[in-house]
Structure 1
Amino acid sequence: MINVLADQYLYNIQSYLPESVNLQLFDPAQGLPSEVEQAHAMLIRTVIPINKQTLPNIPKNLTFIGTGSSGTDHVDSQYLGNHNIHFADAAGCNARSVAEYIATALLLWSEKRNKDLSTVSVGIIGVGHVGTKVADILKKVGLQTVTYDPPRDQRDSGFTTASLEEALSCDILSFHTPLNKKGKYPTYHWLDQRKLEGRTFDLIINSARGGVVDERALLNTMKQGKIRDIIIDVWENEPDIHLDTAGAAFLKTPHIAGYSIQAKENASKFIADDLIDHFDLERPQIETNDQKIIFDKRPDEFTSLSSLLIELHPIKNYEQQLTEIVKNHPHKRGEMFNKLRAEFPLRQQFAQIHLTKTYFKQFPILKELGFSEIS
């Protein structure tokens, strides 16, 4: 029997694995349990780093580790490879969810700042699964996008990157890169004081990985009046987020841009499927969850797009709870940050939310955002 040790917050993970495996769930807040010694496979999230320091003695039976995340900077894949451990990730699982977060955040920002989004340009830094979806949804809502990704340009003959100058000349930058400290294209502190020097930006958004943006450089540039606003979902030294950065943010959220029921389902299924293939197991029968949410509030309750969007997306609810943590529990912010991420109810993506025709007449942009009309 295959012993599988899995983070208890991997969404519905048991339904994606065959009954033939011996599945044991663990609480990541307590670190890796002693049962790791008997594990053949381990399924984790970003809150559990895996490297020589955290897993110095590789269990003899362990041959598979999967992370239910697009990002992999918490795992030393070379270390695992040296010990013949197959490593799998869930790249692309949350692309649509992140795109909806970015579009929502931009629409809230534009209304608050009285900015016509058709007059501003967005430089999308990193055009993989997520960056591509972000570019798609922003084009649909009328923004000019500039896509910058030199590594993809080299490996994908169908993609041509913008120049660095073209990207940095945009009014807004949105980050969607992995966090790499080494290699030909390092992204650690990609946006630093040198790149910010002599430039002005309306808005910087980081929903990629903490550390891709140098937060100290951001704050210095904001003090000079060269950056008006920042929206931060991922943080340096996360989960011990910087209070100065949190205080300066137009919008701050606890690393949840990619959180939705559909994204979490994808993440669990992607890594479960890789595990099943690795051990040559039989796939379980899974019922498709195509939940339809009827939004039944009256359209005349909403006088602005923003007032409606914060009912349809929990982005401001997340911010409110993170603000409470920062304000009232500064010394426990790391623990409570992770708890908020793990336990806050997941949202539905826009396609699952059905609205009456009146909403689409009042706010035509809802169709471009992907909401469904009640038939």
Structure 2
Amino acid sequence: MKILYEDSIPHGHDYFSQLGEARSYPMGTNPAEWLSDCGYLAIRSTTRVDEALLRQAGQLQMIATATAGTNHMDIPAIEQHNIAWRDAGGCNAVAVAEYVVSVLLNARRQKQLDLDRITVGIVGAGHVGTALSRLLGALNISYVLNDPIREQQGDNRHFVSLDEALRCDVVTLHVPFTTTGEFATANLIGADQLNHLSSSQLLINACRGEVIDETALKQRLQSADAPVVVLDVFNREPDIDTELLPLIWLASAHTAGHSVEGKVRGTQMVYEQFCEHANVTRQLALEDFLASPLPVDFTPRDPSMEALGWDEISELLLSIYDVAEDDRDFRNAMAQGESFARIRKQYRVRRECNSYTLRLTGVVSEGILRQLTGLGFILETL
């Protein structure tokens, strides 16, 4: 079993050498020259799989991307060559959901939002939208879901129209980028939708840049009563329009999902997919590559309360992940001439809440315990 994998895939050698002869290729290069006798190809979004590449892959049986999106893969061409393919959908869902929560807590810190009174419109109820809805539920923040495809497929959750979602205090986008079909998402948020958003609303895009019409967005942001905007993604990455940066509140280099757990989870999923295709027994698990949960001593100010107050929640969650740090680092790096791709590649180490064990002292109410568990923490009572 010969496996070729992009060298940016975390623990790629550890995972894939367990299955057979594994060789890496440098991120950002074309792997075609190494594909002639390769049976399995593991990639990330920096590798474009198209017809030209596939013509060099005479023995290729399967391609898997260790990322949630597949826009870098020409799926019809792959299928025409009778090559199996898979993605790592959901690998970074928790990380992106925690990114949105960090944005909300920053908005509260800046007195832009009263989290007890807002409603969040989640556009896209897939892996990320679902993970986000769970976190918002744990925080008792009201939300609505918009996803016409899942609604048509019989998903039994309650859905609202896009127009209704766009009337919420916060609108956060979590759809795949698609250009065809009844519910194509290219330029889903165009001039008309942007013109109906006001300065009291917050718009977050952490899915794909092309979901928003950036030309219309730039115009709207330079007009009166413009909404507050947070962008983790941009059109034409990595060659982004830097003129947008002074116009938006928070910006980052497509790193909303770049937690340690999210990236290693993607590798684990590809490894398992290769095992299944090759009918090989899995030997490795995610826990083999993640450090033990990090201990944190935490004592609620009033352990008898049914839920933590916003000050406590903010102190806890922002101490673990504060999106304002990403914004600062991103803007500083861009000002110093760093490339978007390099900033993304050198992103800092970031852990998810599920990598922390909260060590609680004394008796804590069931409500607080449920809330902390709902946020993903491991709990230990001392």
- The residue that corresponds to 1:344 in the other structure is 347
- The residue that corresponds to 2:376 in the other structure is 370
For 2:294, give the aligned amino acid.
Answer: I
- The residue that corresponds to 1:105 in the other structure is 103
SS of equivalent residue, structure 2 residue 210: coil
Distance 1:104 1:175 in 2: 15
Distance 1:285 1:74 in 2: 27
Which stretch of structure 1 is more off in the superposition, 149-158 or 284-293?
A: 284-293
- The residue that corresponds to 1:125 in the other structure is 123
User: Which residue of 322, 330, 333 maps to 1:325?
Assistant: 333
SS of equivalent residue, structure 2 residue 101: helix
User: Which residue of 154, 157, 169 maps to 1:156?
Assistant: 154
Distance 1:27 1:314 in 2: 31
CA RMSD of superposed structures (Å): 2.7
Identity of paired residues, percent? 26
- The residue that corresponds to 1:254 in the other structure is 253
Q: Which structure 2 residues correspond to residues 46-125 of structure 1 after superposition, within 5 A? A: 46-53=45-52, 55=53, 57-125=55-123
Q: Give the C-alpha shift of residue 297 in structure 1.
A: 10
- The residue that corresponds to 1:291 in the other structure is 292
Matched positions, count: 363
Q: Give the C-alpha shift of residue 251 in structure 1.
A: 1.1
Q: Conserved in 1, the CA contact under 8 Å of 2:44 and 2:65?
A: yes
For 1:122, give the aligned amino acid.
Answer: V
For 2:341, give the aligned amino acid.
Answer: N
Q: Give the C-alpha shift of residue 372 in structure 1.
A: 4.3
Q: Give the C-alpha shift of residue 139 in structure 1.
A: 2.5
- The residue that corresponds to 1:315 in the other structure is 323
Q: Conserved in 2, the CA contact under 8 Å of 1:26 and 1:33?
A: no
Q: Conserved in 2, the CA contact under 8 Å of 1:67 and 1:271?
A: yes
For 1:166, give the aligned amino acid.
Answer: E
Distance 2:14 2:106 in 1: 37
Q: Give the C-alpha shift of residue 230 in structure 1.
A: 0.9
Q: Conserved in 2, the CA contact under 8 Å of 1:17 and 1:283?
A: no
Higher relative contact order (CA 8 A, sep 6+): 1
Distance 2:227 2:372 in 1: 27
Over 3 Å counting, the alpha-carbon distance change for 1:31 and 1:304 in structure 2 is: farther
Distance 1:296 1:160 in 2: 38
Over 3 Å counting, the alpha-carbon distance change for 1:92 and 1:56 in structure 2 is: closer
Q: Conserved in 1, the CA contact under 8 Å of 2:294 and 2:355?
A: yes
Q: Give the C-alpha shift of residue 202 in structure 1.
A: 1.4
SS of equivalent residue, structure 1 residue 189: coil
User: Which residue of 141, 144, 152 maps to 2:142?
Assistant: 144
Which stretch of structure 1 is more off in the superposition, 248-257 or 61-70?
A: 248-257
- TM-score, normalization by structure 1: 0.88
Q: Which structure 2 residues correspond to residues 21-60 of structure 1 after superposition, within 5 A? A: 21-32=20-31, 34-53=33-52, 55=53, 57-60=55-58
- TM-score, normalization by structure 2: 0.86
SS of equivalent residue, structure 1 residue 25: strand
Which stretch of structure 1 is more off in the superposition, 26-35 or 290-299?
A: 290-299
Q: Which ranges in structure 1 are unaligned for 5 or more consecutive residues?
A: none
